Structure 1
């Protein structure tokens, strides 16, 4: 189906040391969806990723590059990219990894679902979703982490940590990006939570997530632990608010 009614679409692709992957994934994206533009946000990669991005952009006017001086975390890179995309007037602003784990050939699933949503998530953990080349321990960690998010925050999203997603610009404007302080991977859960708190529509569509075959993953035990601590703090804060509201209703 045509996605012209969605307006201008850009995928924000953060990079840090993705020299072996960037051109490959951008070429795939532009071939699969010629009308979708690309904004590469490079965090000062020492392996030359930024120069590769510039070379791609020099050949393709639908590709632009945002150079940041240093690595400050995934969330910080996305926030910068979102601000630039909003200022440029894009109607739909997306996220995807540069390592090939998010397949550009499946982007149409997210675009289709955005017809009646404010945020669409490409989910590994809904019926039809899957992961390729993950050890059972990482699968268990991701499934368990997302179950924890659902139970603690009381949300119905099955893959709140996913990084393949599309936002309507109106959604990003409503959740107030200037107040977001998450800079690491917990940024993904933070924005889902904020979107739901704002009363906006979130949909999940199944994707096949493919573990990277080139380069090094940025995920680590320390990163996962940081995310867990922040989500726990949010959840406890929300439970206290719910309890306070319940007590207030009972005492009126």
Structure 2
């Protein structure tokens, strides 16, 4: 992809838990749409990932100079993976996504364009905007997701449509100055509501969630209740304590 002038130097944090062909395709599609803004791709790999997954990640590191492998130190939990990735990032902005292809790689370019156009501090991929959506998503979870979005929008008095999705880009200032506490999937809502509550400018772009083709999701129904706790705690806390 031809490079274009942009102030964004993007560190992309990709969490990996035994994915193989999915993480390979994720990296390939990210690089295909790169307009010169990708600064680094950090593959944060869970230490209990399969040997095949580690081999593919290290092969990607050898093939592409922008790709770096980091073995997650604090475990278990995607929250720790996100936090370690944000700490390691050296770009002006940090993208958070997974290596299972549930997070659409092409949406990263749309989020970067939104930053370039608006100067937003945070851009979230939204499954609920026109042009977004869900593929192979459990129907009961879809109803609950819809209700959660309505509740959180009212609580935070925001027009944002997808506060629980972990796929987003944060400015490095946001990523490395806010105190993150999530250890599991509640990090997904935390990385939206804390910047929102702190007064940072948050925007959205549409994106389609597609169910994974390999591996099994670690996000159980009862873990979703942690989202509510984080949302309420953040809303009640002093902005200066974030």
Which TM bucket (shorter chain)? 0.7 to 0.9
Q: 5+ unaligned residues in a row in structure 1: which ranges? A: 242-252
Q: Secondary structure at the match of 2:228?
A: helix
- 1:218 matched to which residue of 2? 218
Partners of 1:2 and 1:143 lie apart in 2 by 38
For structure 2, the residue ranges without an aligned partner over 5 or more in a row are: none
2:135 pairs with 1:171? no
CA distance in 1, matches of 2:48, 2:28: 20
In the TM superposition, what is the alpha-carbon distance from 1:78 to its structure 2 partner?
0.8
Distance, in Å, in 1 between the alignment partners of 2:173 and 2:115 is 12
Shift of 1:220: 0.8
Q: Partner of 2:107 in structure 1?
A: 106
Matched ranges for 1:1-252 at <5 A = 4-33=5-34, 35=36, 36=38, 37-48=40-51, 49-69=53-73, 71-85=75-89, 88=90, 90-115=91-116, 116=118, 117-173=120-176, 176-177=177-178, 179-235=179-235, 237=236
Q: Structure 1 residues 46 and 167 mapped into 2: Cα distance closer, same or farther (>3 Å)?
A: closer
| Aligned partners of 2:107 and 2:206 also within 8 Å | no
Secondary structure at the residue paired with 2:59? helix
Offset from partner CA, 1:51-110 (integer Å, 9 cap, x none)? 32112101111100111246331121111111110xx3x112101111111222232211
Q: 1-side partners of 2:186 and 2:70: how far apart?
A: 22
Provide the alpha-carbon RMSD of the alignment: 2.2
Give 3-state SS (helix, strand or coil) of 2:56's partner.
helix
Contact kept in structure 2, 1:16 and 1:71, CA below 8 Å: no
CA distance in 2 between counterparts of 1:2 and 1:166 reads: 20
Aligned length: 232
After TM superposition, the score normalised by the length of structure 2 is: 0.86
